[in-house]
Amino acid sequence: MPGFLPLFVFIAADEIWGTEIGLIVAIAFGVVQLIITYFK
């Protein structure tokens, strides 16, 4: 399920702020999630 979280974040951010901001937010969230998983 963690792999789908950036997708859900993108969908939510896209609805609120638009596609460009949604992509930025989703990519940033995915990178943070990757870093957290790496250091765990």
Q: Is the dihedral of CA 22, 24, 25, 27 positive or negative?
A: positive
* Domain coverage including residue 32: 2-39
Is the predicted pLDDT of residue 15 greater than 90, yes or no?
Answer: yes
State in Å, rounded, how far the first CA of the chain is from the last one.
Answer: 17
Is the predicted pLDDT of residue 27 greater than 60, yes or no?
Answer: yes
In the prediction, which pLDDT does 1 show? 54
Query: pTM of the prediction?
Result: 0.78
In the prediction, which pLDDT does 6 show? 87
Q: Which residue has the tokens 């792999």?
A: 3
Rounded mean pLDDT, 20-35: 92
Is the predicted pLDDT of residue 3 greater than 80, yes or no?
Answer: no
Q: CA–CA separation, 1 vs 16, rounded Å?
A: 23
Nearest to 3 by CA among 40, 29, 23: 29
Number of domains in the chain: 1
Fill in the amino acid letter for 26.
Answer: A
Mean pLDDT score of the chain: 89
